Amino acid sequence: MEENSFLGTGWSFPPTFEAKTSQVETSFGEKDIEESLRILLSTRPGERVMNPGYGCNLDDLLFAPLTLTLKTFVGDLIKTAILYYEPRIDAKRITINSGNDLEGELLIEVDYVIRATNSRRNFVYPFYRAEGTEL
């Protein structure tokens, strides 16, 4: 077990299995939090049967024009999802970097503080505005 296992333990994402033991690989601590953020931002509300509100509906905004209003709305959407579904962290700043917008990529940068350890971390989530078949 890792030193910060009190931060949580969960299946690794994407789920993988250890060859020798046929057990699911797990992640601990800060890595588990980062994988949880990746899952939260890539899940559409309604995908989880037992928790239909879980997720962030970024895909609904796929074809919306990228304006300051949309960036602010996306930041608020993400901050609200983190507030409700990731209690281990406080999201301090969410930045939408549209430098690669012509290539169909937005970089969502989340600066957060882990509540239990008071350590600052940064998470970058690439959101692709194009179909996955053409990447």
Domain positions in the chain are 5-134
Orientation angle between helical segments 29-42 and 68-85, nearest 10 degrees: 130
C-beta separation of 113 from 119 below 8 A: yes
**Dihedral angle at the C-alpha atoms of 27, 13, 42, 78, nearest 10 degrees?**
10
For the segment 12-31, the average pLDDT, to the nearest whole number, is: 84
Please, how many CA atoms are within 13 Å of residue 65, restricted to the half-sphere of its CB?
A: 3
**Is domain 5-134 in CATH 2.40.50.140, yes or no?**
no
Least confident of 27-31, 43-47, 52-56: 27-31
Give the pLDDT of residue 99.
Answer: 73
Q: What is the value of pTM for the model shown?
A: 0.81
Distance from C-alpha of 97 to C-alpha of 74, rounded to nearest angstrom: 12
